[in-house]
Amino acid sequence: MASVSTNQFKGGLKFMLDGDPCSIIENELVKPGKGQAFNRVKFRNLKTGRVNERTFKSGDSVESADVMEVELEYSYTDGEFWYFMDSETFEQHTADANAVEDCLKWLKEQYVYTVTQWNGTPLLVTAPNFVNLAVTDTDPGLKGDTAGTGGKPATLETGAIVRVPLFMSIGEVLKIDTRSGEYVERAKDA
Amino acid sequence: MSTIENNWQPSAEIDTLKKRAQYLADVRLFFAERDVWEVETPILSQAAPTAPYLDSFTTDYIPIGTQTKQTHYLHTSPEFAMKRLLAAGSGSIYQIARVFRNGEQGKLHSPEFTMLEWYRPELSLNQLIDEVNSLLQQVFGFKPVCRLSYRGIFEFYLKLNVFSCSDEAIKHCAQQHITGLPEDLETDRDGWLEILMSYIIEPRLAAMNMPLFIYDFPASQAQLAKIKTDCDGYQVADRFELYINGIELANGYNELQDADELRQRFEHDNQQRIKHNKSIMPLDENLLAAMKQGLPECSGVALGLDRLIMLTLDKQAITQVQSFNC
């Protein structure tokens, strides 16, 4: 496995630390005028998702991690694993509950997700910033309410519950921002 | 946006660069009013500083018509040449110099930056601190400064007497207070002290809204300053560092005058460099000869002008006050 030196550290670089693949969030050079240099690194452990800090002596090397991001189409789940497909090679990839945890409520068949793979195994599945999902359950719409005051909860086809304006009814397709989990607007084309 | 089409753009806004120009003019006026005259010294030198953690850029001088290469170094500060001027009787001098440090790049570091350095034969180190204070207030609009000893600051923030405690105690303190220090991280006593300073003390100093001078450093960090005995009998380096918002800005010495001691320090530095697999630096024999003849008793300070302007204009990185980032 290739090694990377601290002088190549930058945001987004993937490396191995204590056996886990990690991604650098921030790299800062700590160096008093004539003193020794260190790299203070804030990173995300891609297996646990936790953010941590670590100091390296400048010039030290770490092992680079074979981490890739690929775009895969979600196929189905058998309750234990979630199956994704490469739409060019039709190759199937299997993700476990850990990997899909954060985007479970945005998972819809045939949608394309960003899958972070380490040595070919999906580590993390990330939803696109916006998804269009149909409302499967909500209180009856209130005619005339266009001011959007307060809103009401609506259950979407993936099981996610979001606040929507009062006039929304079952069957409508909504554009949702997956980062904030908020309703954006009625989907223009479902 | 860092697309190829935009790469030609300055890293600072034009308005910021105009303000920078005004500060430079004001600094020159400040010194003119004090009869400190501006000097220029060569960037290229055949000798280089020996400091173990300071890396000079090297380049080759090739006389026309020959294949012979002579290694030249880009100065990391104009200190050596300015001291030769002092030994030649210059009196008080200052310089605004571009200086070069290999490998240093970050929010607060740049391989090429601007140093304001000045020497005052008639001022004590304390009087020089007063003058830095005047410069900060008059030109850059800072509040009056506060002064604390190196020992006092470690006692206050970490309950550590840095002059009497063991190396182990310092290492233990660092391991205890700092997350993410690998257990096998090896460094020496000064290395651990620097880590504590950078990780624990500097962030707390950031909360102080006045410039701070830290003085009386451990003798092992004397660099080119004199060593003296403090009121409790500890050997300390007669130098100071200036911090604003937790950022190290300047380094001042009661300048070492003893040429023999300086040679010993240079040689000791080179031994350290060998230990760290770094090349030995050629000693500046001209500086040593000048000091042998006699450097006047003087105080001197080097101040990172980019960082000072960055802080004054409330910017986050020195590239935001430099025209271009190399």
How far B54 CA sits from the closest chain A CA (Å)?
6
Give the separation between CA B301 and CA B314, rounded to whole angstroms: 24
Q: How far is CA B70 from CA A168, A182, B41, B44, B144, in A?
A: 79, 66, 20, 12, 48
A130-186 folds as: OB fold (Dihydrolipoamide Acetyltransferase, E2P) (2.40.50)
Give the separation between CA B207 and CA A30, rounded to whole angstroms: 19
Q: Domain spanning A67-126 has what CATH number?
A: 2.40.50.140
Give the separation between CA B183 and CA B305, rounded to whole angstroms: 37
Tens digit of each residue's pLDDT, chain B (326 residues): 445 677 899 999 999 999 999 999 999 999 999 999 999 999 999 999 999 999 999 999 999 999 999 999 999 999 999 999 999 999 999 999 999 999 999 999 999 999 999 999 989 999 999 999 999 999 999 999 999 999 999 999 999 999 999 999 999 999 999 988 888 888 899 999 999 999 999 999 988 878 999 999 999 999 999 999 999 999 999 999 999 999 999 999 999 999 999 999 999 999 999 999 999 999 999 999 999 999 999 999 999 999 999 999 999 999 999 999 87
Q: Does B51 fall in a domain?
A: yes
* A-chain residues near B198 (CB < 8 A): 30, 32, 38
| Residue from B253, B286, B283 nearest B268 by CA | B283
Instruction: Give the mutation candidate from A18, A31, A41 for the B interface (greatest B CB count, under 10 A).
Output: A31
CATH of the domain at B275: 3.30.930.10
A3-63 folds as: SH3 type barrels. (2.30.30)
Q: Domain of B233?
A: 4-145+210-321
Q: Residues spanned by CATH 2.40.50.140 within chain A?
A: 67-126, 130-186
Q: Does B259 fall in a domain?
A: yes
Q: Does B160 fall in a domain?
A: no
Q: Does B182 fall in a domain?
A: no
Which residue of chain A is at minimal alpha-carbon distance from B277?
A59
Instruction: Give how many domains chain B has, as a whole number.
Output: 1
Q: Does B77 fall in a domain?
A: yes
Which residue of chain A is at minimal alpha-carbon distance from B55?
A34
Q: Does B173 fall in a domain?
A: no
Its ipTM equals 0.82
Which amino acid, one-letter code, is at A161?
Answer: I
Cβ <8 Å between A36 and B53: yes
